[in-house]
Amino acid sequence: MTATDIEQQINQLRRQINDYNYRYYVLDAPSILDAEYDRLFMQLQQLEQAHPESITPDSPTQRVGAQPSTAFQSVTHTVPMLSLNNAFSETEVLAFGKRIRDRLHDTDDLAFVCEPKLDGLAVSITYRQGQFYQAATRGDGMNGEDVTANVKTIEAIPLQLRTQDFPTVLEVRGEVFMPKAGFIKLNEQAEQAGEKIFANPRNAAAGSLRQLDPNITAHRPLNFYAYAVGQVQGYCLPDTHHAILQQLQQWGFPVCSENRVAINEMACLAFHAEILAKRASLPYEVDGVVYKVDALALQQQLGFVSRAPRWALAHKFPAQEEITTVNSVEFQVGRTGALTPVARLKPVVVGGVTVSNATLHNMNEIARKDIRVGDQVIVRRAGDVIPEVVAVLKERRPAHTQAIVLPRQCPVCGSDVLHLPAEAVARCVGGLACSAQLKQRIKHFAARRAMDIEGLGDKLVDQLVDRQLLHSIADVYQLPLTALMQLERMGEKSATNLLTALEHSKSTTLARFLFALGIREVGETTAQVLAQHFSDLTTLSQADEEALQQIDDVGPVVATQVVGFFHEPHNQAVIEQLLKYGVHWPQPAPMDQSAQPLAEQRFVLTGTLEGMSREQAKAALIALGAKVSGSVSSQTNFVVAGRDPGSKLIKAQALGVRVLTEHQLNDLLAQLAMDD
């Protein structure tokens, strides 16, 4: 590559980055993923380091951010608000530590303060004689936007410093952010009002803080964590960063409780792994962690380089969103005949996992997002959630893309595909004649929360159906030992164990049996409600839609599906076979209303319980008349939160639902047992 080519590449990167900065900071309309921006920035840094003669004062690498919006008055930072260099691997973190030790000529253990890197908006807040005076955004690091009136509305930020021992001038730096619960509630309110929906909590926080009308900001659920100080006059600060954080708390500022002192780089990496593991359950968004040398004297000795301090580093998390290409689309058939379009992607690493497939949900979603084969798309993966395509980069659309067309025939059995206008999902009409539906029905029937047939796993079910040993779910109880022994990875012992598990599964409950049948719209909770209401299966099977709708939580859709299922002759025959083969459950005793102290109370369980399984907790609550659901809504009375509760806890907090710890649940159950 010639010198001219290199110069052109550098200039192109600068133009791109400056444009992305303008859209992000000034227009509040980001047009690129953080991970892709970081890669472009690092590419420019590497080129400039290799060709230092090409560095210019106006390069994005020589400043912190972008120009502030002209909608606000400009504020000059007395002490520049620098940003941090990024690391994306353990190797880079260890290299960061080595650079520090080499510069300090010190090989002893070095103390760092580790902090979660909140995904919000950095601000500077100045106090004079202990009184709130001015607030500004970071802007370009030298000049920011005056957002005094807006920041003053954030209740977490003190208007008067606590204690009488404070500097004459104090500049506090921190992050304005929107907690996940507040973000969910804000978007729900916006959707109901037909207003703009925010893409994520960071954009919501930035948009809220940069409102020209402070009254709008005051009604937004913003929070603030302090993480540093800038200008200080008339006061002698502590000599470590960790002690400064403690001092900030004494002055009345909230500080992130996850902060920790780590001795050496390996302890820093352990902190990174810990925060990454609990990322989904934190009440705020984080995109990494920050390491800072704790001793201020060492910070001063290390100094700064270009746009960032040498003594601090941001260790970013693997991106949860990435850009890739849709190579093709296939349709998978589920147990109810539903066809789900699945995008086959150019493999890409998302959140540390290689993703090559992503759900497209249904044809309505494909049309709404205008997804085509050949498109470049944003794919998201969060925790254990199935990856999904969230948006198309239409500005990058190639000239020859292909529309995604719903097949007219089932890709598995060739039967017709029916797509009713009132339904989002298209379905194969082949029923049990479709082997895909039969396989999925049997897998559902055997699942732990259904008939709980240990050993009847997915691969074994596939073999049994492919060899035509199973033609309905009832056939599982007629499998011969000799035929099982001839299957792959099935010796005599494994086959015998499976037959034992099948025999054991015959003793079940009516609720489990109803759930195992795979009736559309009947999940675990609805199955439990039906089993509690009807005295036996015969009474339920003969109920009409009107009778079913008299039950709480059973609406017209569920009632129609239940009646239709039990009126289908094939389904009646399968149930008769299952009962003939020995499937049974205890007959319920007449319901004693006095023994139902939690009647009409709706519970949701989330996280890991220590003293009992969630199934045991669910059974205990149901026995007392409670209804246990898998999702939180405004109708939920209690959410029981165990360890690592996740998004259900966040939604409960957003809706104001009462949250119980496992200890409180145990106290409740014990008290009700005593009352009984």
- Active-site residues, by number, are 117
Q: Any idea how long the chain is? A: 676
Q: What is the spatial distance between Cα 554 and Cα 548, in angstroms, rounded to a whole number?
A: 7
Contact 173, 81 (CB under 8 A): yes
Three-point CA angle 158, 164, 166, nearest 5°: 70
The alpha carbons of the chain give a radius of gyration, in whole angstroms, of 30
Put residue 473 in one of left, alpha, beta given phi > 0 → left and psi -120 to 50 → alpha.
alpha
Q: What is the spatial distance between Cα 515 and Cα 533, in angstroms, rounded to a whole number?
A: 15
**Helices 569-580 and 556-567, interaxial angle, to 10°?**
70
Which residues are bridge partners to 369 per DSSP?
none
Contacts of 620 (CB under 8 A, 6+ apart): 612, 669
Contact 86, 99 (CB under 8 A): no
Q: What is the spatial distance between Cα 351 and Cα 320, in angstroms, rounded to a whole number?
A: 5
Which residues are bridge partners to 658 per DSSP?
638
Please name which of 124, 126, 122 lies closest in space to residue 136, comparing C-alpha atoms.
124
Contacts of 15 (CB under 8 A, 6+ apart): none
Contact 470, 476 (CB under 8 A): yes
Helix (H, G, I), strand (E, B) or coil at 422: coil
Tokens 């470590």: give the residue. Answer: 240
Q: What is the spatial distance between Cα 640 and Cα 627, in angstroms, rounded to a whole number?
A: 13
Sign of CA dihedral 572, 574, 578, 580: positive
Amino acid at 2: T
Sign of CA dihedral 23, 25, 30, 32: positive
Contacts of 516 (CB under 8 A, 6+ apart): 444, 445, 447, 450, 451, 473, 508
The string of DSSP letters for 254-265 reads ---TT-EEEESH
Tokens 């509040």: give the residue. Answer: 28
Contacts of 129 (CB under 8 A, 6+ apart): 168
Instruction: Count other Cβ atoms within 10 Å, centred on residue 318.
Output: 17
Three-point CA angle 275, 279, 281, nearest 5°: 120
